[in-house]
Amino acid sequence: MKNIIKLFILTLVVSFGTTGCKDDFLVEEPVNIIAPENLYVNKSGFEAGLYGLYNLIRRERGGIDGGPTSNTTNDMYITPAFIGVDNAYSPFPAGGQQPERVFNTFGVTLNPAVPYISNVWQWLYQTINASNTIIDRAENPSIKWTETEKKQIVGEAKLVRAWAYRHLTFMFGDVPLNLTESTGNSIKTDWERTSVATVRKVMEDDLLYAETNLAETPPNAARFSRAVATHYLAELYLTIGDNAKAKQKAQSLVSNGLYKLVTARYGVNKSLPGTPFTDMFIDGNSNRSEGNTEALFVLQNEYLSAGAENCIMRRSWVNRYERISVGGKSPITFSIENGGRGIGRFGITKYALSVYGPTDERGSEFALRLSWTMNNPTALPTGAKLGDVVKLNITGNEPLTNATTAQAWPNTRKWDWAPAIPSDLQQSSNFNDIIYLRLADTYLLLAEAQFKLGEKAEAASTINALRSRAKATPITAADVTLDFILDERSRELLTEEHRRYTLTRTKTWFARTKKYNINAGSVIALRDTILPIPQTVIDANLTKPMPQNPGY
């Protein structure tokens, strides 16, 4: 959505009342400096704070900042959730302690001193503290708003807090639990790691509050709706083993008339070849207002706007196709049709490419780049012409490093994007609105809950709703296993879901990564199921020792 409120800008542009003439009018009062004391004084101030929170969420798919080895262009914040798993790895891992290398090689490379790990921890606790600030300061009785307005804002902040603790518990296990605003006067040096079970109980409370108090239709497309809380509750209940509650939450969302799977072509490229599945990822089609009935939450961006310049999904997932050599020449170059410039830091494993049936549109040319079209008239090989196709070879194992085959390995097309400006085709960031959470994920949570409750026929029916949309062969109850559900999640949500979290909560990360990830599988150890607590955090806890995770 191109005309919505600019998330980051709104955290900076807030109107404050002016004071009348007083004896101390010569005393400088820098009202343009935003602080909690002058921001959280009215509803508009709290909404501005919320937009700051959503900007922190968008940072997940942006380049990480801070620290001597950070790279805001190439190093994605949430790298460990995407690669080092069964269906994704890094074909072009950078050197040193860059995250792509860390989660390809593991071993001594993954250690508590890696600056990247500390940066991720800091980002998530920054998000938690920003949420706590809104929640705490909303109790100020002098704020003029209705109870409904207050609960909506507090509900969003609590949902964001639960979202941050979701990341932390899946990545680090037991983590410090903080539910109040931290200020310069409340610095602690005796933090304790709280058990995952206790943290998840707080997450449940936060999510239930959000589900009760958030509007079904959000104030605008940039903010959470009630459905997001319901979805994460379904996942949380699966995680803690309450499958009946997981089924109830997922079923309530799947049955909600406000949302439905996209099963017909729509939107900006409706008249061109394509599929209903892939239409959702095309620029101009991601939002509900644009026809995407499946979207639960969409990250909002706008070309060259402040705060939107650092989404690197396309840069990470699209391969280095301009380096493909044919007859000693490079006949493929950057274009809008090719999705702009990629650097292939993330790649799809051979396993993930192999799980699609012959008719499954999720594994088709519309969803995966299985060939490239020669489009460079200055570098055509002998006998070739513009429009000829270079088919990609996926018969061998997934390639690594700068081998010739690495840049000719297939990539997803979900994150293709380039501006319609020839002079800017190589810019680094996505500026299109990007799906973050969609109903198909909820369907798969429902199927998992049904399977775990012994309802295999119902689970097959739920999965078939997705397979029918994709023109994949229907399954029967006999086909439903946990491994099949995990395969189906990869077919449907490849490069979208936090795959590490899915495998961790189903206790399959180690076995499936070892089996299906040719690169990481040979080097991972059981300790790598969770990440190390950053050494900087342990060192800063001066008055109480903080234990490290086993094996680090």
Residue-by-residue DSSP string for 401-421: TT-TTGGGS-EESTT----S-
DSSP 434-487: EEEEEHHHHHHHHHHHHHHTT-HHHHHHHHHHHHHHTTPPP--GGG--HHHHHH
Q: How confident is the model at residue 388 (pLDDT cuts 50, 70, 90)?
A: very high
Q: Residue 394: what pLDDT?
A: 87
pLDDT surpasses 70 at 71: no
Confidence of residue 8 (pLDDT cuts 50, 70, 90): very low
Categorize the per-residue pLDDT at 393 as very low, low, confident or very high, splitting at 50, 70 and 90: confident
Long-range contacts, 276-284 (Cβ 8 Å, 24+): 276/469, 277/361, 277/362, 277/366, 277/367, 277/469, 277/470, 278/361, 278/366, 278/367, 278/413, 278/414, 280/435, 280/438, 281/413, 281/414, 281/415, 281/416, 281/435, 283/417, 283/432, 283/433, 284/432
Separation in Å, CA 54 to CA 424, 492, 519: 27, 26, 35
The Cα–Cα gap between 546 and 552 comes to: 13
**What one-character DSSP code corresponds to residue 192?**
-
pLDDT beyond 60 at 29 = no
Mean pLDDT of 473-501: 98
- pLDDT category, 9, cuts 50, 70, 90? very low
Q: What is the pLDDT of residue 190?
A: 93
| CA distance linking residue 442 with residue 249, whole number of Å | 9
Q: How far apart are CA 43 and CA 41, in angstroms?
A: 7
pLDDT of residue 387: 95
Q: What pLDDT shows up at residue 12? A: 26
All structural domains of the chain, each given as residue ranges with its CATH number in brackets, are: 1-17+28-67+103-214+507-552 (1.25.40.890)
List Cα–Cα distances, 21 to 27, 37, 195, in angstroms: 11, 22, 55
Closest by alpha carbon to 474, among 458, 457, 461? 461
What mean pLDDT is predicted for residues 423-447? 93
Residue, of 190 and 25, whose pLDDT is higher: 190
Asked if 130 and 49 touch (Cβ cutoff 8 Å), the reply is yes
What is the per-residue pLDDT for 403? 67
The DSSP letter of residue 549 is P
What SS3 class is residue 62? strand
Q: What is residue 309's predicted lDDT score, i.e. its pLDDT?
A: 58
- Model pLDDT, residue 32: 59
The pTM assigned to this predicted structure is 0.92
pLDDT value for 21: 33
pLDDT of residue 162: 98
* Alpha helices (H) along 318-410: 350-354
pLDDT in tens, 248-272: 999 999 999 999 999 999 999 999 9
pLDDT mean across residues, the chain:
90
Between 175 and 37, residue with greater pLDDT = 175
- The larger pLDDT score, comparing residue 130 to residue 20, is at 130
Which pLDDT value is given to residue 204? 98
The whole-number pLDDT of residue 13 equals: 28
Q: Using CA atoms, how far apart are residues 227 and 254, in angstroms rounded to an integer?
A: 10
Q: Tell me how far apart the alpha carbons of residues 231 and 210 are, in angstroms, rounded to a whole number.
A: 11
Which DSSP state fits 372?
E
What span, in angstroms and rounded, lies between the C-alpha atoms of 200 and 415? 32
Residue range 83-91: mean pLDDT, rounded? 97
Flag the least confident range among 214-218, 389-393, 418-422: 418-422
Residue of 204 and 72 predicted with greater confidence: 204
- Which pLDDT does position 33 carry in this prediction? 67
pLDDT of residue 141: 95
Question: What is the C-alpha separation between 307 and 292, in angstroms, rounded?
Answer: 24
State the DSSP code for 327: T
pLDDT at 211 over 70: yes
> What's the confidence (pLDDT) of residue 316?
94
pLDDT at position 443, please?
99
Q: Would you say residue 537 has pLDDT above 80?
A: yes
Contact at 8 Å (CB) between 165 and 202? yes
pLDDT at 238 over 50: yes
Among candidate residues 140, 231, 223, 121, the one with its CA nearest the CA of residue 538:
121
Least confident of 59-73, 253-267, 440-454, 460-474: 59-73
- Residue 310 pLDDT: 78
3-class SS at 187?
coil
Lowest mean per-residue pLDDT among 29-43, 155-169, 171-185, 326-340: 29-43
pLDDT in tens, 278-317: 999 999 999 999 999 999 999 999 887 765 557 899 999 9
Q: Is the pLDDT of residue 20 over 50?
A: no
